[in-house]
Every structure is written in structure tokens, then in C-alpha cells.
Structure 1
Amino acid sequence: MIRSLIDPKEFVQDALRSPIIDRRDFDLDDFEWEILANAVEILKPFDELTKDLSSQNYPSISKVIPSIVLITKWLNNINKNIYVDCLKQLLTFLITGLKERFEDSQKTCTHSTPHLIATYLDPRFKKLDLYFSSVVSSEAEKRTRNHIVFSSEERGKDSQQLAAQPMQQNKSSIWEGHDEAFAMSNANITAQGPNREANRIILTEEYNILPLQPRNSDPLLFWKTKRDEGQFWPLIKVVTKFQCIPATSVPCEQLFSSAGELVYEERNRLSPDNVNMLLFLNKNA
């Protein structure tokens, strides 16, 4: 909103000074225009994160903790170079608001299991010390391993079947023995063997030593590649559970709006199944 006033600055000034409007009392001096420009710079990361987290790409909650940490660091750094009282007040209000909503970022992520695990299993962030202290990193691994145990106990048989899927596509009588050995080998490596505790530790350590992925890469594509390679099956189950949680409710709200445009009085005979299919096509076509 402020930028929409600054960009046409000259036109706004000309309009206020014209004989027809003649409202010079609303005109701003150069110092006031500079304050507005600085306010735009202060609010810039909020605009960037709002567009990112509310995008049609459905960003996961794995981005929430990094976003909180980065925007807090941004505000603290820019606060050192601001000397105008009104801008100082704006920064204080924003920093205080972040602390009240999210408390300390380290404390928040420690007590939020979905956010913590989702961020840890995002290959772009993992245990990056920019976002996690050593204590929180250990907690992330611990909670992830706990969910690996849950996946193993509840759906352990599925993991062996999934591990063999890439080979079953080209299955032949000659290679049946290899397929069985392949499935059992992957199952043992990925926390499905007899020594599950050791396998869980090895599994997370193998994930930790993998290089970080670029910020603009797709984490789901990374895990799809690992799945096709028959690696990290129990971790992929945990990823499926937590990475599907959207960062905001914007996608749901947009879907409700689309439903309102689709179902109205003249189309009240649409069946629920048809509405579901039409909404699916609308969002995925």
C-alpha cells in the first residue's frame, strides 16, 4: 500500500497541487517521503515471505522456522542503522510482535514436533546452525527417530514391499532371488532389520552427511529420487507425514472461494462427487 503511494509520487504531488483539488496541506515534504521509503524497506521481508508462504506451490511448514529466524535477524540488523524515532517505533513494534507470537525461535521449534521434524527432513535446511542450535538439532534427530520406530511397528511389512518395487517392474524368474535379497538388504539398512535402534541411528547419520540442497530446489523431488533408488524408506514415510502440512491456511481458503464460485443457486443440483472433481480440475489443471 505504501509503495503504491511512493511509485507515482510525482503524479500524487501534481494532483494535490492542482487548482481543481488544491489540497497542499496533504502534500508531504522530502523528509516524510524518505520516511515512507525507509518504511517500505523495513516491511520488505514481510511482503516477500507473505507471497512465498501464500503461493500456489503450497509451501510446507518446513519453511516456517527458517522464515521466523531470517526475518528476526533482518529486523535486528536494520535496527542498528535506523535513527528516526517513528521508524524506531515501527521496528520495535515488529520485533516485539514476533517475540510475542513465536517467543524465542529456538524454544518454539523445540516444542513444535511437526515444524521441527519437517524442517529437519527438508534437505535445504536439515541441521543448519543458522536455524538450529546443537541442542535443538539433537532434539530433531531424536523425534525423527521416534517416528521411524512408529512407522516400523505400524507398517514395517509395507517398507519391505516398497523397497522391492523398483525391481519388480522388470521381474523375471531368473532375478527373483536377487529381488528378494534386494528388498531384505534395503529393509535391514533402513531400520527394518533385527537391530532397529542401531539402524535408526545409522539412517539419520547417513542423511545428515548428505550435502544441503539449493534453496530453490524442490525437497519432494529429492525424496522422490531417494525413493526410486530404494533409499531412506522409513524417513520417506516420516516425510510423507509431515511435509504435506501446508505453511498457511491460504490454499484452503482459496479452495473455499472456488467452491463458492462453482456452487450457487442456479447450480444447486451438482452432486458432491461432481463438485469434488470440478474443484480438483480447477486447482490441478
Structure 2
Amino acid sequence: MNKKNNEDSLIISDKKFKSRLMIGTGKYKNIQEAIKSIEASKTSIVTVAIRRTHYAKKMGKSNLIDGLNWKKLWLLPNTAGCETAEEAIRIAILAKEINKRIGQIDNNFIKLEVISDSKYLLPDPIGTLKAAEYLVNQEFSVLPYIYPDPILAKQLEDIGCKTIMPLGSPIGSGQGLKNLHNIQTIIAHAKVPVIVDAGIGTTSEANQAMEIGASAILLNTAIAKSKNPPLMADAMRLAVISGRKCCLSGKMSRKKQADASSPDNGILKLI
């Protein structure tokens, strides 16, 4: 933390972001509800599926990109829906053009998703590594979505990825942090930000991920499918802030037995 001005920015590829909560844009009832939720979250980064956006534009339909203020938000395009490395690379190149269209000419971020399994939606490690290496060489800032495999995480970091994004549990499942030990291992060894992405369903789970040292959280379904998405967005915002502060403050160690808060000496004895 910057002690001079008490700043605790999330830094990805030398770019600073105030919020450590990233928001997805799918599954909302309508665009208006999505916009209200994004505003309530006070997020700095919004991720959008470029395939879905491109399709909406071709069909002459409005999309969320057109309704957000990109002077205040940073677009994180993602390659959701891509089943191969080749598909993901093509979508990443298209994403750069969308970044330019909204005025973010220097935005070379891409959230890399390569998912060939349509049932469990688990990321393809080989396809992800292949696409990541190509995109890094093309000067993209690659944020890869992976199963929490510490070895794969290290390989992706070594080739130049700007973050590692391990899943907590399968996309949209709301199962929470089912791979806690692996995520902790990745966090312990990574020299780039580790962003827990997918599976978080409650504020306590978001808080826990931040408490163990995650740099940020990316979530969508927990907000979009709640009964009151803007309220849930605000709750997640507070959970991430709380978890981050807990991590920075250094929590007490656990003990096997009780440890009295009051000292033994100086106790008033009744006669």
C-alpha cells in the first residue's frame, strides 16, 4: 500500500485501477439493470463478451457497450464462447477494434477464455497456453482464465501474461471457492495479480478470496441473478474492500485453546 496517500490501487500492466471488483455483463434482465448494477459496484473494469457484442451489432440491436461511460470505465474484452485457440485469437484482434471505437486506443487488454467443454465449461489448458503465447507476442496484455493449476499458472506468467485468473468453481455455479488450496498456492508464488474468477455466489466467498490474498475478484452471475442486482453489486463491493483490508492488516493466528483478553495480574479480588 502507498503510505504516502493511503492509495491501494490494483495495477495491471502498469495501469492503475481504484476498484478491485470487476464486473461481468451477461445474464441481466435488461441493459438498464446491468448499467445500474455496474454503477452500484463502483467498479473500474467491466468485461464484455466480444462475440455477443459483435453479433448484436450485426443484427442491428443495441448492446451494453453503447450504454456505458467509457471515460470512467475500462473495457476488458473477453473471448467467451471460443472453443479453440485460433477462435480466441481472432476475437482478441476484433476486440482491439472495439476498444478503439470507444476511445480506448491504448487498451490492449484481453481476458482469454478457451473453453471446448460445453457441459462443465472448464477452460482448456493447452488451448489457453497456445493462444496466450501468440497474443503476448502480439503485444496484448493477456488475462487468462484457467482451472486453478499452479503449474499452468507459472507457465502463463513466464510467457508474459499480466494476471492469472483461476476459477473458484465452475462458471455460474455459485459453489464458491472449491479449489481453495490451489488458489492459495498460485497466490503464494505469483508475481502478477491473481484474480479469482467464476463460481463466487455470496459476499462471504468474495471476502474470503480477498482475505487469502487475491488481488481482485471478477463476478457476474451472483449479481445478475440475485433478486436485487444493484443492491448485491454494492454488497460485493463492500465485501471486496473488507477482505482486502483484512489481508493487508494481517489477521491473528489461530490457537488450539482460549487466550484471555484481560491480563491475570491486577485482577480485583473480592474478599
Q: Is the helix fraction higher in 1 or 2?
A: 1
TM-score (norm 1): 0.23
Answer with 1 or 2: which has the greater Rg: 1
Larger proportion of strand: 2
Structure with larger RCO (C-alpha < 8 A, sep 6+) = 1
